[in-house]
């Protein structure tokens, strides 16, 4: 049988081994890297994009050939970023019978003459650009364009479309509108304004 002293020596070896393992475990738990973390917050606030179209126009009640009516329309940059501006328009005549008419009479006279302002250049795409498309003139914040149109004139040379009536005694001749002419008609002018953020590399 194993003596008591022999057993004591074995137990001491086991205790020594366990103690060594315990020490190694403690040492191993202290081997960690120093770390830190932080963040930086950057706020980006976009500029306000806003434009206002200002028009000055009073519709005439009895527009007659030779009369010129003021019509002003301009754009104001009410935002924070520069803009580019272009304009286009359409026009039509409606006779007193409600039918659309030609813009020119039988002699080729243009019934309504639009008087454009300088500073707007018509490009090959049909649009009128503020400044010119090549120069790409910007409208800075708080600034405005000059008026696209200055006025509209009813051509004094326009032909009337009248029917002639002679009295039975031949002494009285009456000319009456047949409803297909420019008298008692409506001229409708529609102006469209486009704006875009100004860029030296790209405008439309």
Q: Summarize pLDDT for 8-47 with one digit per residue, the tens.
A: 555 555 554 544 444 444 445 555 688 888 999 988 888 8
For residues 136 and 64, which has the higher predicted lDDT (pLDDT)? 64
**Locus of tokens 């860029």:** 199
For 79, phi and psi rounded to 5 degrees? -105, -155
3-state secondary structure of 194: strand
Structure tokens belonging to residue 80: 């924070």
Q: Region 48-67: what's the mean pLDDT?
A: 93
Quote the CA–CA distance of 44 and 17 in Å, as a whole number: 64
Distances (CA, A) of 161 to 65, 96, 115, 187: 13, 12, 25, 16
Each residue's pLDDT tens digit, 150-187:
999 999 999 877 777 888 888 888 877 778 889 889 99
Quote the CA–CA distance of 76 and 72 in Å, as a whole number: 13
For residues 19 and 74, which has the higher predicted lDDT (pLDDT)? 74
Structure tokens belonging to residue 129: 């650009």
| Average per-residue pLDDT for the chain | 85
pLDDT band at 149 (very low <50, low <70, confident <90, very high): very high
């Amino acid at each position: 049988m194993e003596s008591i002293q022999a057993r004591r020596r074995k137990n001491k070896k086991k205790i020594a081994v366990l103690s060594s393992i315990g020490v190694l475990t403690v040492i191993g738990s202290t081997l960690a890297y120093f770390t830190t973390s932080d963040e930086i917050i950057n706020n980006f606030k976009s500029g306000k994009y806003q434009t206002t179209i200002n028009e000055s126009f009073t519709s005439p009640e009895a527009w007659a050939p030779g009369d010129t009516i003021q019509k002003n329309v301009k754009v104001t940059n009410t935002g924070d970023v520069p803009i580019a501006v272009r304009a286009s328009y359409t026009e039509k005549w409606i006779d007193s019978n409600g039918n659309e008419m030609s813009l020119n009479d039988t002699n080729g006279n243009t019934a309504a003459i639009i008087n454009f302002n300088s500073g707007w250049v018509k490009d090959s795409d049909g649009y009128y650009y503020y400044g010119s498309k090549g120069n790409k003139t910007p409208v800075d914040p708080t600034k405005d364009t000059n008026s696209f149109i200055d006025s509209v004139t009813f051509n004094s040379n326009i032909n009337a479309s009248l029917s002639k009536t002679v009295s039975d005694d031949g002494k009285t001749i009456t000319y009456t509108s047949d409803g297909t002419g420019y008298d008692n008609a409506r001229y409708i002018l529609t102006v469209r304004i486009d704006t875009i953020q100004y860029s030296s590399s790209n405008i439309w």
